[in-house]
A and B are shown apart, each in its own frame.
Chain A
Amino acid sequence: MTKFTAWIKTIIFYEILVGMKATLSHLLHYKPITLQYPHEKRTLPDSYRGMLALLRYDDGTEKCVGCDLCEAACPSRVIKVFSAEVPGEPTKRYAKEYYMDMTRCLFCGLCVDACPVDALGMTREFEWAVYDKRQLRLNKEQLLAIGDRSYPVREKRLEFQHPNVAFFNVAFKGLPEKES
């Protein structure tokens, strides 16, 4: 009997029929999970590790104090910082020039972890395809511009008690909210 059933199953292509049933049932409960990408876009979570940006305080001053920690933490030598003293305020430093070679970036987020003043953030931007890869070497103005458009809510700059603790500013818990 079992032999007979097996034989019947063989000639009627039973297992193919079962498989086709599963496939066709999906046709009935048709629910696409793909998105028509350039026209529809996914909502990315806040913690998305996209393009890097430099941030500012609410009064428009740059947060970066030019401490070079991001440069030291980077595993692929993306970042180059040239720091200098703030003119007129000899105890304070800032990044005079700041370069990021985004062609080499791994988007690991170690620089953001390393930054002691939360001056770096990762945005939700990812559409950065260019024709000339020299355009991916970003300078400070470009990185600040990315930060300006991605982080509209800025951290408040506090009144300092002493110029020496200028860069021990009390930070947000995590990073400010992003534009959704």
Chain B
Amino acid sequence: MHPLLDTLKTKFPEAVLAVQEDKQRGDLSVRVAAPRLLEVARFLHDDPVAAFDHITDICSADYPDDQERFEVIYHFLSLPHGIRIRVKARVTEEHPVVPSITSVWKGADFMEREVYDLMGIKFSGHPDLRRILMPEDYDEGHPLRKDFPAEGRGWRSRFDFLPRLDEAPVAETGRDIPEAEKRVFRTEPQPSSSSRRTEELLLNMGPQHPATHGVLRVVLELDGERITKATADLGYLHRGVEKLAEGLAYMQIIPHTDRLDYVCSMTNNYAYVRTVEKLLGLTIPERAEYIRTIVAEMQRIIGHLFWLGTQALDIGAMTVFFWTFREREVLLDLFEKLCGARLTLNYFRIGGVDSDFTPDLVERLRAFLKDFPAHIEEYETLLQTNRIWVARTKDVAVISAEDAINFGLTGPVLRASGVAYDVRKLEPYGAYGKVDWEVPIGKNGDTYDRYWVRMEELRQSSRIIAQCLDQLPEGPIVADAPKIIPPPKAHVMRDMESLIHHFIIFTQGFKPPKGETYCATEAPKGELGFFIISDGSPRPYRMKIRAPSFVHMGAFDHMARGYLISDIVTIFGTYDIVMGECDR
């Protein structure tokens, strides 16, 4: 057994109910008594033996038949030791209360709110326990509970807020917003002794605002031009992908993951497919691994180019936007050639990829890589030393390394603060372990460093692709597992056995073993993780998406406080948020 689990057992004989090590998948999990969760969490965070300083995710599951119905599942990562742990606590339906861990990890704030919103578990000691993805006045229950129908309650036409065609439109009159409704957005009132009258200004930004990169609403509390509190209001693009996935076979979820981070959809495919393969214990052919790495890095280039263009556009540099989209277009054309779509690609399959690289495609990709470094330098001549860009990004939205880890930030946002955490290095997957590349790290953790990190990542990505193209081995692109992967089309029509497998896989789906696993993948935005609980049926019992944009929004208030109102679009942009992923 892992020494850490022994330590936990001897240290907390009453609080730790059970420990388990999944040797095959390399997962550690601990079950603790819910009331004593906080002391175990504090030990895990503080003790140098454990040092789980990074909060990855909080998830919940519903088992209606059990006596203790709900399970809250925490994922922590220890950056010094490089291990992950899963802490689980069970609560009953009558008393669904778990102590909040926001005092240990600040990033738990948004995650606990999400669990409260979707599963209805209360967190005692949470500073601001409100709904986050669903509307605040939503009173139909908690959607991820198993007794909540996936179709929702009631017909869409019965919603009274939808305008009806046969009725005259109601004239909207302005109304005063009561003070009680404003209170949630305000900071704590400061008692002022002077006779000078001060008043905070509440400014509503979004959801229809071009600089918020989607439908995000932020309520800013201003003192003059300074932001004193920024409350993000999420959920305008909530589609309930996690609930939807519970009703779909494993294979059918892949096109739905395309729609999470629609700027670079293949990385979502990759993250999901890897989790299912980890659950199944499936190994992938060498060529498929290389192809996956290549396309994932192409998507990273697309994602960072998109980010660079829009961030520069937000700040006022128009030319960069056109130039980055020019290069992006070349890659999108390659994807169109490869799998027939430009944005929602649906290219990955469980056990491999959909179609093979043709020599023509490899040639075009090589030609692109040859020109690409010159293009990066072109962007840099426009931005790197430009005084407007430097003034707008240097020392804006600074976050220290400790805070960044404590909030659970990942990806370029974390690396700009000087933390060399990259899933591709920590847990190498694909062909990342076989090629030579570096993790760029910033120093100050400001917007300029995040820009610099992403520019360096563009160079590293093209390095990885070039090496992968050189090493690209021959061979099959799909694993040989007839019970899981549909047989090739030509066999289906000739061979009785293949036909039977084909029918079974497409009608029933395959059945992975009972179990649960978390698998993290480095997406352009940060660590994109999928947590799947399988009950042995062809559909996931619970699928949780650890979306980096959502976690990053949790640190938004912390990073925006004290800056000018004109910096707010820079701060949005620096996370590279995509609301499709944030709201899921």
| Cβ-defined contact, A75 with B340, below 8 A | no
| Cβ-defined contact, B490 with A48, below 8 A | no
* Residues in B489-509 with C-beta less than 8 Å from chain A: 489-490, 492-494, 499, 502-503, 506-507
Is there a chain A Cβ closer than 8 Å to B481's Cβ?
no
Q: What 1/0 mask marks residues of chain A from 149 to 180 whose CB sits below 8 Å from any chain B CB?
A: 00000000000000000001111011000000
Is there a chain A Cβ closer than 8 Å to B157's Cβ?
no
Q: How far is the CA of A109 from the CA of B493 in the complex (A)?
A: 19
| Cβ-defined contact, A19 with B493, below 8 A | no
Q: How far is the CA of A5 from the CA of B150 in the complex (A)?
A: 67
Q: A23-B319, A49-B341 are in contact. Are A116 and B329 (CB under 8 A)?
A: no
Q: How far is the CA of A31 from the CA of B387 in the complex (A)?
A: 29
| Cβ-defined contact, A106 with B499, below 8 A | no
Residues in chain B near residue A170, CB distance under 8 A: 493-494
Q: A22-B378, A23-B319, A48-B340 are in contact. Are A110 and B252 (CB under 8 A)?
A: yes
B340 interface neighbour in A23, A73, A109, A174, Cβ under 8 Å? A109
A16 interface neighbour in B248, B386, B489, Cβ under 8 Å? B386
A171 interface neighbour in B252, B493, B507, Cβ under 8 Å? B493
Q: How far is the CA of A10 from the CA of B387 in the complex (A)?
A: 9
B499 interface neighbour in A18, A19, A23, A168, Cβ under 8 Å? A168
Q: Shortest Cβ distance from B244 into chain A, in angstroms? A: 9
* Residues in A1-49 with C-beta less than 8 Å from chain B: 10, 15-16, 18-19, 21-23, 33, 44-45, 47-49
Q: What is the interface residue range for chain A against chain B?
A: 35 or more
Residue of A nearest to B390 (CB): A15
Is there a chain B Cβ closer than 8 Å to A84's Cβ?
no
Q: A72-B506, A75-B255, A75-B256 are in contact. Are A107 and B344 (CB under 8 A)?
A: yes
Of the listed residues B253, B326, B385, B489, the one surrounded by the most CB atoms of chain A closer than 10 A to its CB is B489
Q: How far is the CA of A174 from the CA of B488 in the complex (A)?
A: 10
Is there a chain A Cβ closer than 8 Å to B445's Cβ?
no
Q: Shortest Cβ distance from A160 into chain B, in angstroms? A: 13
Q: Shortest Cβ distance from B103 into chain A, in angstroms? A: 42
| Cβ-defined contact, B340 with A118, below 8 A | no
Is there a chain B Cβ closer than 8 Å to A81's Cβ?
no
Is there a chain A Cβ closer than 8 Å to B426's Cβ?
no
Is there a chain A Cβ closer than 8 Å to B133's Cβ?
no
Is there a chain B Cβ closer than 8 Å to A114's Cβ?
yes
B381 interface neighbour in A19, A69, A109, Cβ under 8 Å? A19
| Cβ-defined contact, A110 with B255, below 8 A | yes
A73 interface neighbour in B336, B338, B494, B506, Cβ under 8 Å? B506
Residues in chain B near residue A64, CB distance under 8 A: none
Q: A15-B385, A22-B378, A73-B506 are in contact. Are A44 and B255 (CB under 8 A)?
A: no
Residues in chain B near residue A109, CB distance under 8 A: 340, 346
| Cβ-defined contact, A117 with B340, below 8 A | no
Q: What 1/0 mask marks residues of chain A from 48 to 81 whose CB sits below 8 Å from any chain B CB?
A: 1100000000000000000101001111000000
Q: What 1/0 mask marks residues of chain B from 334 to 378 whose CB sits below 8 Å from any chain A CB?
A: 001111110010100000000100000000000000000000001
Q: How far is the CA of A72 from the CA of B386 in the complex (A)?
A: 56
Of the listed residues B256, B382, B493, B506, the one surrounded by the most CB atoms of chain A closer than 10 A to its CB is B506
Residues in chain A near residue B355, CB distance under 8 A: 47
| Cβ-defined contact, B489 with A110, below 8 A | no
Residues in chain A near residue B255, CB distance under 8 A: 75, 106, 108, 110
Residues in chain B near residue A10, CB distance under 8 A: 387
Q: How far is the CA of A168 from the CA of B486 in the complex (A)?
A: 17
| Cβ-defined contact, A18 with B253, below 8 A | no
| Cβ-defined contact, B336 with A45, below 8 A | yes
Q: How far is the CA of A147 from the CA of B448 in the complex (A)?
A: 53
A114 interface neighbour in B319, B378, B506, Cβ under 8 Å? B506
Residue of A nearest to B337 (CB): A45
Residues in chain A near residue B494, CB distance under 8 A: 168, 170
Q: How far is the CA of A109 from the CA of B338 in the complex (A)?
A: 14
* Residues in A117-135 with C-beta less than 8 Å from chain B: 117-118, 122
B507 interface neighbour in A69, A107, A173, Cβ under 8 Å? A69
B493 interface neighbour in A15, A44, A110, A169, Cβ under 8 Å? A169
6 A-B pairs with C-beta separation under 8 A = A23-B319, A48-B336, A67-B503, A69-B507, A73-B252, A75-B256
**Contacts A19-B381, A19-B386 known; 16 new A-B pairs at CB < 8 A:** A10-B387, A22-B382, A45-B340, A47-B338, A47-B339, A48-B340, A69-B507, A73-B251, A75-B255, A106-B256, A108-B346, A110-B346, A116-B503, A170-B494, A171-B490, A171-B493
Residues of A within 8 A of B (CB): 10, 15-16, 18-19, 21-23, 33, 44-45, 47-49, 67, 69, 72-75, 106-110, 113-114, 116-118, 122, 168-171, 173-174
Residues of B within 8 A of A (CB): 248, 251-256, 258, 319, 326, 329, 336-341, 344, 346, 355, 378, 381-382, 385-387, 486, 489-490, 492-494, 499, 502-503, 506-507
Q: What 4 pairs across the A-B complex have the smallest Cβ distances?
A: A108-B255, A75-B252, A49-B340, A47-B340
